[in-house]
Amino acid sequence: MRRRKSGMRKAVLLLFLVSGLGVAGIALMAAYDDAHTAAGASVAGGPAHNPMPPQDMLVHFQQAATAHNVPLSLLLAVGAEESGYTASAQSSAGALGMMQMLPATFAAYAPAGSGPQDIWNPAVEIDAAAAMLAANGASTGDTARALLAYNHDQAYVAEVQARQAAYQDWLDSGRPAADVALPWPATGPITQPFGCTGVGLEPSRGGCPHFHTGIDLAVPTGTAVASACPGTVTDAVDSGAGFGIHVVVSCDAPGVDYSTLYGHLSSRVVEAGDRVEAGQVLGYSGSTGNSSGPHLHFEVDTPGGPADPFDYLAQ
């Protein structure tokens, strides 16, 4: 919502248009925006040329988008454009905080009970920004009008819409970005990777006689196994076959559409229906079920089937 630096931006916009890059290249103009050079801003992870907010902030974007019926992708795009998700950002025009709202505008849309200092609280300012966007058309699909009300600049509207398209593609993919990559459920070498394998215990899949649907981590029996994501335990099974004692967590971070499985445990400490956080202990490693020795089988299951967990884990 801050005022724009027009001279450099117009020159760069003309360069993109002349070169034929059009709107797809407009997102690159973020490099000329003062908020994007603020300390703490990051362009790692998420869609190309678009940062992702800190993981603990994602839930606030999701809650605000749901509460005010605005697209999550739009709200993320505004946060990226305005400050690169920098909570301490300030502009020369007086816009403050992660969503770069002017104090008077923030006061008009902030939740009941909020005070002027809450503009520095990202959770509160994100909600206020969502409320303003909704009131100006975003809740009925008129994002262009909403963005023009947020910042009276047509170039800004084009930039944010380009960002929104990238964020929507990312959300639709169900894949995590680098900034929100999953923590490892246990520490140990990978003894069997994802994919076709010569291990006869594994089932057939696709054109492979034997296919390993996750990765195996070599860990001693009794090693604590932690959830790689926040979510709800959908299965907590005690079995002597297959994955043996195992736990399945349906992950519920914004933009996520997959579950994680933890197999061959010696014991578990959660039940189906339990709410768990990333890093919370689910059980302890073992060698139950169809297993040749102590290890953890870790699996990521998407709507399209098992995916390579290595692509989801923090590197």
- Residue 37's Cα: distance from chain center in Å? 22
85 with 75: CB under 8 angstroms? no
CA distance 238 to 138: 48
Angle 122-135/55-68 helices, nearest 10 degrees?
30
**In the chain, which ranges are E strands?**
190-192, 195-196, 211-212, 215-217, 224-226, 231-237, 245-251, 259-268, 275-276, 281-285, 296-302, 305-307
For residue 123, count CB atoms less than 10 angstroms from its CB and return exposed for 0-12, middle for 13-18, buried for 19 or more: middle
Tell me the torsion sign for CA atoms 225, 230, 235, 236.
positive
Side chain identity at residue 258, one-letter code: Y
Residue with tokens 């969503």: 99
Side chain identity at residue 282, one-letter code: L
pLDDT of 260 reads 96
Average pLDDT over residues 129-148: 97
Tokens of residue 4, six digits = 């724009």
- Hey, what's the torsion of the CAs at 235, 239, 245, 246, to 10 degrees? -30
Tokens of residue 136, six digits = 């100006």
pLDDT in tens, 179-237: 457 889 999 999 989 988 887 777 777 778 888 999 999 999 999 999 998 899 999 99
| Listed range (120-129, 248-257, 270-279) with the worst mean pLDDT | 248-257
Query: Would you give the DSSP letter of residue 255?
Result: T
Q: Where is 57: in which H helix or E strand?
A: helix 55-68
Residues in the chain: 315
Query: Percentage of the chain surpassing pLDDT 90?
Result: 56
pLDDT of 62 reads 84
249 with 260: CB under 8 angstroms? yes
Name the residue with higher pLDDT: 104 or 171. Answer: 104
pLDDT of 209 reads 85
Query: Percentage of the chain surpassing pLDDT 70?
Result: 79
Name the residue with higher pLDDT: 35 or 6. Answer: 6
- Per-residue pLDDT band at 254 (split at 50, 70, 90): low
* Cα angle for residues 270, 275, 281 (degrees, 5° grid): 45
pLDDT of 257 reads 78
Q: Is the pLDDT of residue 154 over 80?
A: yes
Tokens of residue 164, six digits = 């929104």
pLDDT in tens, 30-63: 222 333 322 233 333 445 556 767 666 777 888 8
CA distance 151 to 215: 47
CA distance 299 to 297: 7
CA distance 260 to 304: 14
| Listed range (8-22, 68-82, 118-132, 207-221) with the worst mean pLDDT | 8-22
pLDDT of 286 reads 97
| Domains in the chain with CATH codes | 6-172 (1.10.530.10), 190-311 (2.70.70.10)
- Per-residue pLDDT band at 3 (split at 50, 70, 90): very low
Nearest Cα neighbor of 293 from 305, 301, 285 is: 285
Tokens of residue 11, six digits = 């020159």
pLDDT of 31 reads 27
* Averaged pLDDT score across all residues of the chain: 81
